[in-house]
């Protein structure tokens, strides 16, 4: 089973800091055997202006980059937006869609998330589709809710006959940055269900289900085969910590 690891830098780093961090990551992980073999895949999502430079830094390594967001439209008079084709041309392979912060602070509803998922697939990008329940609830209810979100997010893609690899990032809203993270049992239960849903929906065989609510060291080992990887946040700002997670995934 290929393990998938992603890092979103959000808006924590400046431009120069982003490039320095990426160069350090390449020095530590650019020739890591598990990444080179494809047993582990790693993608990094910096702020938009850094994507071309990060792509150059990562060139010749097995590490990929992409964007934290994209426009639902492919081109046109959309001031301040960035299209999927622009990201792809700049060297991006992955793009985050529907993160809880986008839904909460920018009013991205399920129609927008569905349209952006379709836009990513049209551009040949791998959507990192973020799913999660807003409030703490039993595993079976949470699993049903993320399944509903997943099926809804694919509506526009199916309408246009689009397909491709997906990364589903399960991030329960209530666990993001929380003092008390979701339990291992909760994560395993929801992710196992989501993996079955992905299989039943005939998704691309390279699709993966990863967990991203306050993920840290040891979690991937504890979750075992119930999850395909992790979506990392501030923990990965330390390149040594990221290297430790890659080693854990490789093991």
What is the set of active-site residues?
99, 171
CA distance 187 to 45: 23
Q: What are phi and psi of 75, to 5 degrees?
A: -170, 175
DSSP code of 237?
A: G
Nearest to 210 by CA among 168, 158, 241, 240: 168
Reading the block at residue 147, the tokens are: 């399944």
Q: What is the DSSP string of 112-137?
A: HHHHHHHHHHHTT-EEEEEE--SS--
Nearest to 208 by CA among 222, 219, 194: 194
CA distance 220 to 66: 23
CA distance 214 to 212: 6
Nearest to 231 by CA among 56, 45, 36: 45
Element spanning 96, H or E: strand 94-97
């Amino acid at each position: 089973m290929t393990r998938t690891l992603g890092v979103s830098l959000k808006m924590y780093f400046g431009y120069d800091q982003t490039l320095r961090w990426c160069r350090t990551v390449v020095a530590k992980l650019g020739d890591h055997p598990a990444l080179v073999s494809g047993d582990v895949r790693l993608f990094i999502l910096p702020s938009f202006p850094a994507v071309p430079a990060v792509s150059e830094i990562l060139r010749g390594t097995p590490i990929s980059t992409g964007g934290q967001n994209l426009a639902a439209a492919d081109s046109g008079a959309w001031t301040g937006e960035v299209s999927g084709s622009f990201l792809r041309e700049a060297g991006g392979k992955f793009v985050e869609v529907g993160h809880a912060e986008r839904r909460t602070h920018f009013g991205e509803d399920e129609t927008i998330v569905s349209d952006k998922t379709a836009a990513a697939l049209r551009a040949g990008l791998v959507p990192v589709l973020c799913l999660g329940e807003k409030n703490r609830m039993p595993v079976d209810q949470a699993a049903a809710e993320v399944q509903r979100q997943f099926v809804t997010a694919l509506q526009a893609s199916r309408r246009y006959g689009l397909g491709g690899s997906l990364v589903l990032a399960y991030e329960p809203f209530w666990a993001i940055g929380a003092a008390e993270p979701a339990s291992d049992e909760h994560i395993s239960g929801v992710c196992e269900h989501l993996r079955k849903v992905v299989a039943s929906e005939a998704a691309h065989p390279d699709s993966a289900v990863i967990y991203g609510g306050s993920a840290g060291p040891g979690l991937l080992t504890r979750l075992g085969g119930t999850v395909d990887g992790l979506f990392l946040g501030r923990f990965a700002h330390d390149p040594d910590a990221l290297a430790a997670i890659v080693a854990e995934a490789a093991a």
